[in-house]
Amino acid sequence: MARIGVFICHCGENISATVDCPKVSEVAAKFPGVAFSTDYKYMCSDPGQSLVVNAIKEHKLTGIVVSACSPRMHEPTFRRACAEGGLNPYQCEMANIREHCSWVHEKGDKTDQKAIDIVRMMVEKVKRNNALLPIKVPVTKTALVIGGGVAGIQAALDIANAGHKVIMVERDPSIGGHMSQLSETFPTLDCSQCILTPRMVEVAQNPNIKLYTYAEIESVEGFVGNFNVKIRKKAKSVDETLCNGCGMCTTKCPNKKNPNEFELGMGNRPAIYVPFPQAVPNIPVIDKTQCTYYKNGKCKICEKVCQPKAIRFDQEDEIIEVAVGAIALCTGFDIKKTDFFPEYGYGKYKDIIDGLQFERLASASGPTSGEIRRPSDGQVPKKIVFVACAGSRDPAKGIEYCSKICCMYTAKHAILYKHKVHDGQAYIFYMDIRAAGKNYDEFTRRAIEEDQAQYIRGRVSRIYERDGKLIVVGADTLMNAQTVEIEADMVVLATAGVANKGAEELAQKLHVSYDQHKFFSEAHPKLKPVETNTAGIYLAGACQSPKDIPESVAAASGVAGKIACLFANSELTREPLIAMVDRQAPPMYSSCTGCFLCQPVCPYNAIEREEVKDRNGNLVRELAFINPGLCQGCGTCVAVCKSKSIDIEGYTNLQMYAEVDALLNS
Amino acid sequence: MSNPHHTEDNTLAGKIKKNVGVSLVKCYQCGKCSAGCPVSGDMDYPPSLLIHKLQTGLPNHEEDVLRSKSIWYCLSCEMCIARCPMEVDIPPMMDYLRGESIRLNKANPAAKNIIKFHKAFLNSIKNTGRLYEMGLIVDYKMKSLNMMQDVTLAPTMLAKGKLKIFPEMIKNRKNIRQIFLNTINKQK
Amino acid sequence: MKLGFYPGCSLEGASREYNESVMAIAEKIGIELVSIPDWNCCGATAAHNLNKELSLSLPARNLALAEEAGLTELVVPCAACYSRFTMVQHELMHDEPLHKRVNEIIGKEYKGNLRILNVIQFIDEYVIDKLDENVKFEFNKKVACYYGCLLVRPNKVLKFDRTEDPQTMDIVMKKLGADAIDWAYKTECCGAGFSVSFTEAVARLSGNIVEDAVHRGAEAIIVACPMCHSNLDMRRKEIDKFNGKKSDIPVIYITQAIGVALGIDHKKLGLQRHFVPVNLKDFKPFVKKEIDVEKPQNMEVE
């Protein structure tokens, strides 16, 4: 005979302001099988949990229903309390009367009735719960880091230094990411390359790290502790084991007029190239879309000049399969290009550039060797306008969020500009100066007070070209919204930070969720900022939302810590809420007909054929068998099974029907 | 979407939201409208400032707005809404404010010619169904007493065949009068 | 081929050369433009400045009459009328009670089944493909195509070309052999309906437009709106006074430019009616050549 305990939580006022909790408790006490019912202000608090534990012992309960928030929030909490009270933890059910009731309805009898119905359903369910045992799975103590920007580098080094193997996959020919393109970094103005390059080299030299550049993720299967990943290593047309990085090929390549991606189109590079001098690895790749040999079948000059004979025109993409226990997503971000702005000329004016292009102009290794010269004619701009919030906080353009980093890097740009062009004047159109961070506000003050940046509070309405000048039309909202017109020599748009190319596709391969802007979603905005909703996959850096370097690095170290925790155990405990095909001893008794309709629909390839043999070893029949290590409990097989032989543990058909029955027959 | 639990907003901004569906709380005062507005220099309050006055909900600021030149100088060129990052639809708001300004007898004296021209224009249509340019000019001059303005324009226009001496009348003028009676000339 | 036609008051009066040129090219191409029977004024700026329901009802009556006459496509050369019609159709189709109310006011049943075309859309759809076989002269001039406000804004409703730096007129002019320049005032307002009541503003706004076109070496300003035309042409005295220098750049309707290229008599196109004389000469015979008129990036309407 079931003895169920019902615990109604007020959740402060979250529930009790809308739902009459004492009344729900009173009604629930009269449900058949309920031996105890009560309500309490915060059931998840320490005294609340003690209340549950004591009630289980005192009233000899066989199952409990905690009527509170979503199971996503506190199911683990109350399962623990349930176990502490001496029950199997899976004898606990959550009745969600917060998200499903109090938060979405007005106060009233109907709302109370709905709460009561939800509780009744869960009472009927929990009566039919079975005791379940957690599943143990082994952990592969190798981490996969996707993306080799500053976040990926930090995560990889931290994990490797904790003694674990790391596989790093980078899409470009070199690691380094956006940080390698930056000139100097706020708020200290230290040189970006100088602080990043040593770390890049460390990655290449760390014996625990295996680096794949010019490589992308092909597919990911498996689950926490046991992922199987296929990596597509794109053909570089160069044998990496032979190449010594002498650079002869890139010097001699006759096809040199290809837009340089690293310089954001402000320079050229050969068809065989190393993206930048400090690249790691220092091994060139041939861009097949540009190489004369791949296009016309003639040339091969690089092959002739290569002393170690490393050029391989017939090299093909390689698929590499690896087993890893955890994945760190560090794929970074991208920025909107100037062609995104109709009112600023759709990108047709050469001297309107984006923030990253300015970084290259200001960089000692950039196309102008660190001199600020405008792209159209190489003149040094004497009047320069920076436009903050270009595309950010702009719902009309589909980007309502603040890109966060622009206020700071724009202040930095103004400072760098003044350091390089002493007689120049920088104007900054801004809406708010968002400089929250250690030494950040001081830094923007420095731009204004020491480096004479003119901050004008208003958005720029239009920019057009006339007689070689860019006419910037804005308003000064601190001056009666009067129109301000500046004849500038160059304009820098602090364009919005956006999700990186291919982010959505990658998220789908990994089954991690992402927001409407294709940024990857964290599992909880406050308490699980580096976890994704998929166990064993973590995220760091600007693939989550625009972030600056310190934040990206901090998050990456957070990820490394999480992965080190995961790898501290040799096996993992998994929820036993998986599909099972019914079996009664002896094994041939099962209602499964062996039709295997379930096999192709399983997204996790978890369904196998089990042979049932007689004593003489003759095959009697084949039954579906679900590999508990692979099953994720999605229930697709349950839906297609004609003979109703499959059940999800914890969500059996019997339990579901009991719930529905309780609702319909109330 | 306003919160149903909140009490009714009786400010002018609240009325704008209710009557023309333009939500002024969205405006975050970036000034892009004022920067792009071709007549913001003529206005006493450029568009963003005018909105800010309404955002305060204070009677003195609302009074300023209804008595402003700005609402009459607006050309309805739609540049503001074309570039507004928050899609605050200013032109219909201006239409509404003009209506209120006239209804409450608060129209700015500087706008009298503009209003007179609009009224002369509509008068012309009310009587004939179509615009009678010659009549409009005469009517406007009578109303505005700007007898000397554009005296050289009309003869040249006549000479170039751009002015008709007689109005063109549509057949169903009754229909037009009915439209006027049902809208602008409705008895309150 | 028959298409519905709404001339509007300006085209019957102060801007009759616009009407004449539209009719002339339609005739040349073999299209019959059928006017809406007993059409009335759209109410223009005056109506929507003073009374919302009036500003909806006056255009709605015309649209209802066009539907009654069995017209399905309506060519509206006047940019102001085109804008009013399109806005009214949009507003009524998205507001059921308002639609009902307006139908009551006009005493007619307006359904909303019309396709409303501005003059450039009309050219783009019905004229441009027939140009190659009919064009006699190359329009070998540097031109500044001026779109103004009402053809491109609000973009979300009109859905015609891109809001900033539109291209459709430029493409037509390039096809006729013209050099359509890149300039800064393509979509800036000319002062519109304030020509009489606030002439100083018109002189300034139109003055900036004329000045920039001249400064960049344009030999003609091409327009598709009678209000733009009358401000830039008839207000030239005030414009020159504002700019402090005399300008003789003519302002030509796109339909007149096409008419010139088609070899239609300039009188028939009404070119003699302009205040600023049109002294364009030396048109070369048209030779068909592949001109790079590929639409630029971001051409698709957002």
- Of C69, C90, C119, which residue constitutes the final position of a domain? C119
Above 60 in pLDDT, residue A252? yes
**Local confidence band at B5 (pLDDT 50, 70, 90 cut-offs):** confident
- Chain A residues in contact with B40 by the CB 8 A cut-off are 475, 481-483
State the Cα–Cα distance between residues C189 and B39, nearest whole angstrom: 9
Above 60 in pLDDT, residue A587? no
**Cβ within 8 Å, pair A466-C296:** no
Q: How many CB atoms sit inside 10 A of residue A571's CB?
A: 11
CB burial of residue C232 (10 Å; 0-12, 13-18, 19+) = buried
Stretch B95-113: mean pLDDT: 93
Of C164, C215, C297, the CB nearest to A343: C164
Per the DSSP assignment, residues forming a β-bridge with C285 are C137
DSSP string, A455-518: EEES-EEEEEEETTEEEEEEEETTTTTEEEEEEESEEEEEEPEEEPTTHHHHHHHHT--B-TTS
Per the DSSP assignment, residues forming a β-bridge with A491 are A352, A385
**C78 assigned to some structural domain:** yes
State the Cα–Cα distance between residues C15 and B131, nearest whole angstrom: 13
* Residue C211 sits in the same domain as residue C269: yes
- Of C119, C148, C182, which residue constitutes the final position of a domain? C119
- Omega before A576 cis (within 30°)? no
**Chain B CB within 8 Å of residue A431 CB:** yes
**Chain A CB within 8 Å of residue B162 CB:** no
The pair phi, psi for residue C35, each rounded to 5°, is -70, 150
**Cβ within 8 Å, pair B162-C39:** no
Q: What would the two tokens of residue A167 be?
A: 């596989």
Residue A620 and residue A647 in contact, taking contact as beta carbons nearer than 8 Å: no
Tell me if residue C251 falls in helix, strand or coil. strand
Looking only at the bridges linking them, the beta strands covering C2-5 and C73-75 are parallel
- Chain C residues in contact with B156 by the CB 8 A cut-off are 275
Output the pLDDT for position C293: 59
3-state SS string for A76-143: HHHHHHHHHCCCCHHHEEEEECHHHHHCCCCCCHHHHHHHHHHHHHHHHHHCCCCCCCCEEEECCCEE
DSSP H or E segment with residue A230: strand A226-233
Q: Which domain holds residue C190?
A: 135-273
Instruction: Specify the range with the lowest mean pLDDT, choosing from A380-394, A463-477, C211-225, C286-300.
Output: C286-300
- Chain C residues in contact with B39 by the CB 8 A cut-off are 201, 205
Q: What is the pLDDT of residues A636-651, one digit of tens each?
A: 999 999 999 999 999 9
Stretch A624-647: mean pLDDT: 91
Stretch A244-259: mean pLDDT: 95
- Of C85, C119, C153, which residue constitutes the final position of a domain? C119
Residue C224 and residue C144 in contact, taking contact as beta carbons nearer than 8 Å: no
Percent of chain A at pLDDT > 70 equals 100
The pair phi, psi for residue A322, each rounded to 5°, is -130, 155
* Mean of pLDDT over chain B: 90
State the Cα–Cα distance between residues B168 and C7, nearest whole angstrom: 13
- Chain A residues in contact with B33 by the CB 8 A cut-off are 461
* Residue C269 sits in the same domain as residue C196: yes
- Chain C residues in contact with B116 by the CB 8 A cut-off are 197
Q: What is the largest CA-CA distance in chain B?
A: 66
- Chain B residues in contact with C61 by the CB 8 A cut-off are 175-176, 179
* Mean of pLDDT over chain A: 95
Residue of C nearest to B172 (CA): C38
Residues in Cβ contact with A305 at an 8 Å cutoff, skipping those fewer than 6 apart: A248, A249, A252
- Chain B residues in contact with C14 by the CB 8 A cut-off are 133, 157, 162-163
- The CA R_g of chain B, rounded to the nearest whole Å, is 20
* Residue C139 sits in the same domain as residue C110: no
* Residue C161 sits in the same domain as residue C261: yes
* Residue C9 sits in the same domain as residue C102: yes
**Local confidence band at C301 (pLDDT 50, 70, 90 cut-offs):** very low
**C179 assigned to some structural domain:** yes
- Omega before C296 cis (within 30°)? no
- Chain A residues in contact with B46 by the CB 8 A cut-off are 475, 480-483
Residue A541 and residue A555 in contact, taking contact as beta carbons nearer than 8 Å: yes
Residue A360 and residue A266 in contact, taking contact as beta carbons nearer than 8 Å: yes
Percent of chain C at pLDDT > 90 equals 77
CATH, residue C160: 3.40.50.11810
> Nearest CA of chain B to the CA of A533: how many Å?
31
Stretch B110-116: mean pLDDT: 89
Q: How many residues does chain A have?
A: 666
> Nearest CA of chain A to the CA of C152: how many Å?
13
DSSP H or E segment with residue C171: helix C168-175
How many C-alpha atoms does B175 have within 13 Å on its Cβ side? 24
**Local confidence band at C290 (pLDDT 50, 70, 90 cut-offs):** low
* Residue C141 sits in the same domain as residue C44: no
Residue of A nearest to B44 (CA): A480
Q: Is the dihedral of CA C241, C243, C245, C250 positive or negative?
A: negative
Q: What would the two tokens of residue B73 be?
A: 């100088």
Q: What is the pLDDT of residues A356-365, one digit of tens each?
A: 999 999 999 9
Q: Is the dihedral of CA B88, B90, B96, B102 positive or negative?
A: positive
**Cβ within 8 Å, pair A466-C163:** no
Instruction: Specify the range with the lowest mean pLDDT, choosing from A220-224, A279-283, A384-388, B142-146.
Output: B142-146
> Nearest CA of chain A to the CA of C297: how many Å?
8
Residue of B nearest to C153 (CA): B78
* Residue C97 sits in the same domain as residue C152: no
Residue of C nearest to B162 (CA): C14
**C264 assigned to some structural domain:** yes
Q: Enumerate neighbours of B (3 or more CB pairs within 8 A).
A: A, C
How many C-alpha atoms does B187 have within 13 Å on its Cβ side? 1
DSSP string, A180-221: GG-SEETTTTEEHHHHHHHHHHHHHH-TTEEEE-SEEEEEEE
DSSP structural state of residue B185: T
**Chain B CB within 8 Å of residue C54 CB:** yes
Q: Which of A389, A477, A479, A485 to mutate to test the interface with B (most CBs of B within 10 A)?
A: A477
DSSP string, A642-662: TT--EEETTB-HHHHHHHHHH
Residues in Cβ contact with C285 at an 8 Å cutoff, skipping those fewer than 6 apart: C136, C137, C138
**C130 assigned to some structural domain:** no
Residues in Cβ contact with A345 at an 8 Å cutoff, skipping those fewer than 6 apart: A338, A352, A463, A464, A465, C164, C165
**Cβ within 8 Å, pair A466-C297:** no
Output the pLDDT for position C113: 86
**C296 assigned to some structural domain:** no
Output the pLDDT for position A632: 83
* Residue C151 sits in the same domain as residue C95: no
State the Cα–Cα distance between residues B116 and C46, nearest whole angstrom: 10
State the Cα–Cα distance between residues C192 and C149, nearest whole angstrom: 9
Tell which residue, B37, B9, B41, has the closest CA to residue B25: B9
Q: What would the two tokens of residue A208 be?
A: 């625990």
Above 80 in pLDDT, residue C289? no
**Chain B CB within 8 Å of residue C48 CB:** yes
CB contacts < 8 Å between A and C, how many?
Answer: 28
Residue of A nearest to B80 (CA): A461
Q: What is the pLDDT of residues A129-148, one digit of tens each?
A: 999 998 888 999 999 999 99
State the Cα–Cα distance between residues C142 and C87, nearest whole angstrom: 34
Stretch A508-513: mean pLDDT: 93
**C21 assigned to some structural domain:** yes
**Chain A CB within 8 Å of residue B85 CB:** yes
Tell which residue, B180, B122, B175, has the closest CA to residue C64: B175
Stretch B142-157: mean pLDDT: 78
> Nearest CA of chain A to the CA of C9: how many Å?
33
Of B113, B131, B164, the CB nearest to C41: B131
* Mean of pLDDT over chain C: 91
Looking only at the bridges linking them, the beta strands covering A268-269 and A258-259 are antiparallel
Output the pLDDT for position A98: 97
CATH, residue C15: 1.20.1050.140
Q: Which of C165, C181, C209, C299 to mutate to test the interface with A (most CBs of A within 10 A)?
A: C165
* Residue C106 sits in the same domain as residue C199: no
Domains, chain A: 4-126 (3.40.50), 142-234+317-332+500-567 (3.50.50.60), 248-305 (no CATH), 334-498 (3.50.50.60), 579-648 (3.30.70.20)
**Cβ within 8 Å, pair B163-C15:** no
Q: At what angle do helices A150-161 and A192-205 cross, to 10 degrees?
A: 40
Tell me if residue C215 falls in helix, strand or coil. helix
**Cβ within 8 Å, pair B85-A395:** yes
Instruction: Specify the range with the lowest mean pLDDT, choosing from A297-311, A412-426, B27-41, B174-188.
Output: B174-188
State the Cα–Cα distance between residues C98 and B81, nearest whole angstrom: 23
Output the pLDDT for position A75: 95
ipTM of the complex in this document = 0.91
CB burial of residue C216 (10 Å; 0-12, 13-18, 19+) = middle
Stretch C136-156: mean pLDDT: 93
Q: What is the pLDDT of residues A381-426, one digit of tens each?
A: 999 999 999 999 999 999 999 999 999 999 999 999 999 999 999 9
Instruction: Specify the range with the lowest mean pLDDT, choosing from A422-436, A458-472, C120-134.
Output: C120-134
Residues in Cβ contact with A650 at an 8 Å cutoff, skipping those fewer than 6 apart: A90, A129, A130, A132, A576, A577
> Nearest CA of chain B to the CA of A346: how many Å?
14
Output the pLDDT for position A222: 86
* Residue C61 sits in the same domain as residue C97: yes
Above 70 in pLDDT, residue C202? yes
Q: What would the two tokens of residue B80 be?
A: 């503001």
**Local confidence band at B113 (pLDDT 50, 70, 90 cut-offs):** confident
Output the pLDDT for position B188: 54
Looking only at the bridges linking them, the beta strands covering A184-185 and A190-191 are antiparallel
* Residue C113 sits in the same domain as residue C141: no
**Domain total in chain C:** 2
Percent of chain A at pLDDT > 90 equals 92
- Chain B residues in contact with A474 by the CB 8 A cut-off are 31-32, 35
Stretch A30-48: mean pLDDT: 96
Q: How many CB atoms sit inside 10 A of residue A77's CB?
A: 18
**Local confidence band at B148 (pLDDT 50, 70, 90 cut-offs):** confident
**C280 assigned to some structural domain:** no
Write down the residue that tokens 């639609």 correspond to: C99
Stretch C161-171: mean pLDDT: 91
Q: What would the two tokens of residue C195 be?
A: 């020509």
Q: Enumerate neighbours of A (3 or more CB pairs within 8 A).
A: B, C
Above 50 in pLDDT, residue C270? yes
CB burial of residue A386 (10 Å; 0-12, 13-18, 19+) = buried
The letter for the amino acid at A6 is V
Residue A137 and residue A180 in contact, taking contact as beta carbons nearer than 8 Å: no
Output the pLDDT for position C302: 39
Residue of C nearest to A344 (CA): C164
Tell which residue, B181, B179, B182, B25, has the closest CA to residue B93: B25
Of B36, B48, B84, the CB nearest to A477: B48
The pairs formed by B173-181 with CB atoms below 8 angstroms and a separation of 24 or more are B173/B127, B173/B128, B173/B129, B175/C61, B175/C106, B175/C107, B176/B125, B176/B126, B176/B129, B176/C40, B176/C61, B177/B126, B178/C105, B178/C107, B179/C54, B179/C57, B179/C58, B179/C61, B179/C105, B179/C106, B180/B122, B180/B126, B180/C54
DSSP structural state of residue A411: H
DSSP structural state of residue A344: G
Q: Is the dihedral of CA C184, C186, C192, C195 positive or negative?
A: positive
**C214 assigned to some structural domain:** yes
The letter for the amino acid at C115 is R
